[in-house]
Amino acid sequence: MNGFIGELFGTYVLIVLGTGACAGANLKQAYAKGANWTFISVAWGMAVTMGVYVASSLGSLGHLNPAVTIPYAIFGLFPWSQVVPYLLGQFIGAFLGAATIMVIFYPHFKATTTENGNTVGIFATRPAIYSPLSNFLSEVVATFIFVFALLNLGNFSLGLKPLVVGLLIMVVGLGVGTTTGFALNPARDWGPRFAYSIIPVPNRGSGEWYYSWVPMFGPLTGGIIAAAVQVMVK
């Protein structure tokens, strides 16, 4: 139960802070409107740091991400008995985090049309250029680097290591995240994407589910490859 609670609230904090930054950068009359990619990368990095701290304090390992939980379990680094509670916490927390941002920014959604930035890109990833194979490979590589680095941090919920994880997210976003928006995390994408699709946000656009397989299977593939390499090397 502690694993579920930790992942739920940790992912909630992650998504409130991350999608809140994206809402501020995209919606009319928000002070951060027009903020650049560095702002987004730093915000997501620090959002992950705070989420890991919250999750670990509440009894989980701070995965916040199926692309961490599932590969760890496949290669014997995490018990299968905990996989479902962790995944439920991650997806529910992500959904609730996105819903919270929709409430907070409601007047800004009302003031912003799809053409002016009210899109699913506030909550989920979209490719800069739609090219399915390239988009998939971008997510595989980005998540491989992320998970491989996590594996070599050991227990990344201890001490200052969550800050290192946040810095890792930032540099992944800055280095290889500009093609797809660096999902890295199926829950971080699908939970908010689902929320945007079903909650009656003013002027909302499409949920763009035709693309959603990329942020689901790209990160999972990258995470599994990273765990496989780690086990073979060490």
Q: What is the share, in percent, of the chain residues with pLDDT greater than 70?
A: 100
HSE-CB for 41 with a 13 A CA cutoff:
18
What average pLDDT does the segment 40-62 reach? Answer: 98
- Average pLDDT of the chain is 97
pLDDT for the residue 144: 98
For domain 3-233, give the CATH number: 1.20.1080.10
**CA 71 – CA 84 distance, rounded (Å):** 13
φ, ψ for residue 76, nearest 5 deg: 75, 20
Domain ranges of the chain: 3-233
**What average pLDDT does this structure show over 160-177?**
98
Q: Of 117, 122, 86, which Cα lies nearest the Cα of 199? A: 122
DSSP reduced 3-state for 197: helix
Please report which confidence band the pLDDT of residue 85 belongs to, taking 50, 70 and 90 as the band edges.
very high
Query: Sorting pLDDT into bands at 50, 70 and 90, what band is 234?
Result: confident
* Averaged pLDDT, 124-142: 98
Say what the pLDDT of residue 183 is. Answer: 98
Torsional sign, CA 74, 79, 83, 84: positive
- What is the tens place of the pLDDT at every residue in 172-213? 999 999 999 999 999 999 999 999 999 999 999 999 999 999
Cα 154 to Cα 3, 42, 81, 203: the distances in Å are: 18, 23, 21, 44
pLDDT at 90 over 90: yes
User: Whose CA is closest to 196, among 124, 134, 141, 114?
Assistant: 124
pLDDT tens, residue by residue, 102-113: 999 999 999 999
- Residue 122 to residues 77, 180, 204, Cα–Cα distance (Å): 33, 13, 11
Nearest to 220 by CA among 117, 74, 114: 74
Task: Tell me: pLDDT of 2 over 90.
Answer: no
Tracing tokens 């919270």 back to the chain, one arrives at 100
**Residues of the chain above pLDDT 90, percent:** 99
Of 95, 69, 100, 68, nearest in space to 82 by CA: 69
- What is the mean pLDDT of the segment spanning 150-171? 96
Predicted confidence band of residue 71 (pLDDT cuts 50, 70, 90): very high
Residue 118 CA to residue 105 CA, distance in Å, equals 11
The pLDDT, as a whole number, for residue 168 is: 98
The widest CA-to-CA distance across the chain, in whole angstroms, is: 54
